[in-house]
């Protein structure tokens, strides 16, 4: 059933002069209404063109963005309406008399469409317009990678059916049908409950896709998550140890030279310390010997044999306590 009123309402919402940024929800609903046949391209494209040529530059810019999305997502019926000499002449004239932001958007669209339709003889007028504007000195922006993706692939035509393409459930009053934006097949709500962006079709907002297409579109992110999971499989003892915080990369040549220099300086310091301790050793023992000799040469406090015995016993104990001194005093050892 033709529902132009709903389309006009969505177009007014998507091109409102009060918007601060593009209304992607309304834009995608416009694309849906064209793809589903709610409005024909012969009605939709002239309506969008009227908004493109609005005197308000904000309305004109938002209308150009709607036109870009429609061309990217609605297939050859829309392409046929765009690739008309009248449409190209109007866009060419708009680029000459519009503000800079609108002019840049028009130049971007003409360049992208010329590249996308370069192998389509029926759309030759688009490429001719592009070449004429280049000869007139128009400065076109650089072609982006996302635009090249659009040139390589087109959004698939929507299929129709009475059952879900995956689980084969019958559609009815309760079970509604939905289309996957990536493959175009018809699915039930359970089999198409996920949303994803589709860069290859220029769809930068998350839209409904089936489970299979979701896995295919998000395969790089899944592999990255798998790699992160594998890292968490390490033992907790290793993860909590200081070794896990150290770099696992092999040391550089500069680090090896610095480590060798530090080890050499440490070895020299240890050798000097040992040499100094050996030089101080005999003099220290000699001083100890002198003090001990002076103590032994002093006259006894009494003639008691007990005192002499006690003194000798204490000296013997001191020798036992200091084996290095005893060996130094032992002349037979030398």
Q: In this predicted model, what pLDDT tens digit does every residue of 66-86 receive, in sequence order?
A: 998 898 888 888 888 988 899
At residue 113, the pLDDT reads: 87
315 or 322, which is more confident? Answer: 322
What percent of the chain shows pLDDT beyond 70? 68
Say if residue 24's pLDDT is above 60.
yes
Q: What is the mean pLDDT of residues 53-76?
A: 89
Cβ(72)–Cβ(33) below 8 Å: no
Which of these ranges, 11-15, 182-186, 222-226, has the smallest mean pLDDT?
A: 222-226
What percent of the chain shows pLDDT beyond 90? 20
At residue 223, the pLDDT reads: 53
Say if residue 11's pLDDT is above 80.
yes
Q: What is the mean pLDDT of residues 221-245?
A: 55
Cα–Cα distance, 155 to 172 (Å, whole number) = 27
167 or 291, which is more confident? Answer: 167
Say if residue 164's pLDDT is above 90.
yes
- Neighbouring CB atoms inside 10 A of 9's CB total 13
Which of these ranges, 17-31, 37-51, 265-279, has the smallest mean pLDDT?
A: 265-279
At residue 157, the pLDDT reads: 77
At residue 318, the pLDDT reads: 46
Cβ(101)–Cβ(61) below 8 Å: yes
Say if residue 222's pLDDT is above 60.
no
At residue 51, the pLDDT reads: 92
Summarised one tens digit per residue, pLDDT across range 176-194 is: 999 998 888 999 999 999 9
Q: What is the mean pLDDT of the chain?
A: 76
DSSP symbols for 194-208: EEEEEGGGTEEEEEE
Summarised one tens digit per residue, pLDDT across range 121-140 is: 888 898 899 889 888 888 88
Which of these ranges, 102-111, 201-210, 260-269, has the smallest mean pLDDT?
A: 201-210
Nearest to 138 by CA among 160, 179, 106: 106
At residue 56, the pLDDT reads: 92
25 or 291, which is more confident? Answer: 25
Helix axes 57-73, 100-116, angle to 10 degrees: 10
At residue 303, the pLDDT reads: 46
Summarised one tens digit per residue, pLDDT across range 247-299 is: 555 666 777 788 888 888 888 888 887 877 777 765 555 455 455 454 454 45
Cβ(146)–Cβ(203) below 8 Å: no
At residue 304, the pLDDT reads: 45
């Amino acid at each position: 059933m033709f529902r132009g009123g709903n389309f006009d309402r969505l177009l007014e919402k998507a091109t409102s002069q009060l918007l601060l940024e593009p209304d992607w929800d309304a834009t995608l609903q416009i694309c849906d209404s064209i793809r589903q046949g709610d409005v024909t391209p012969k009605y939709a494209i002239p309506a969008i063109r009227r908004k493109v040529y609005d005197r308000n530059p904000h309305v004109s810019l938002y209308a150009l963005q709607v036109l870009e999305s429609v061309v990217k997502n609605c297939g050859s019926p829309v392409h046929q309406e765009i690739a008309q000499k009248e449409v190209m002449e109007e866009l060419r004239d708009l680029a000459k008399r519009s503000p800079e932001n609108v002019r840049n958007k028009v130049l971007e669209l003409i360049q992208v469409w010329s590249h996308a339709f370069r192998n389509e003889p029926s759309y030759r007028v688009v490429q001719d317009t592009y070449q004429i504007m280049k000869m007139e000195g128009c400065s076109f922006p650089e072609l982006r990678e996302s635009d090249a993706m659009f040139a390589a692939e087109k959004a698939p035509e929507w299929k129709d059916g009475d059952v879900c393409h995956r689980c084969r459930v019958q559609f009815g009053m309760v079970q509604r049908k939905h289309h996957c934006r990536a493959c175009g097949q018809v699915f039930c709500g359970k089999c198409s409950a996920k949303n994803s962006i589709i860069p290859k079709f220029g769809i930068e907002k998350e839209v409904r896709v089936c489970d299979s297409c979701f896995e295919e579109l998000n395969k790089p992110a899944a592999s990255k998550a798998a790699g992160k999971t594998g890292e968490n499989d390490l033992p907790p003892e290793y993860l909590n140890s200081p070794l896990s915080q150290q770099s696992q990369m092999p040391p550089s040549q500069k680090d090896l030279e610095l480590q060798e220099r530090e080890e050499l300086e440490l070895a020299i310091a240890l050798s000097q310390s040992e040499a100094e301790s050996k030089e101080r050793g005999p003099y220290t023992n000699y001083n100890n010997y002198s003090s001990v000799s002076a103590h032994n040469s002093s006259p006894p406090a009494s003639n008691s044999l007990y005192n002499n015995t006690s003194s000798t016993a204490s000296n013997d104990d001191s020798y036992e306590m200091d084996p290095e001194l005893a060996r130094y005093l032992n002349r037979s050892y030398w």
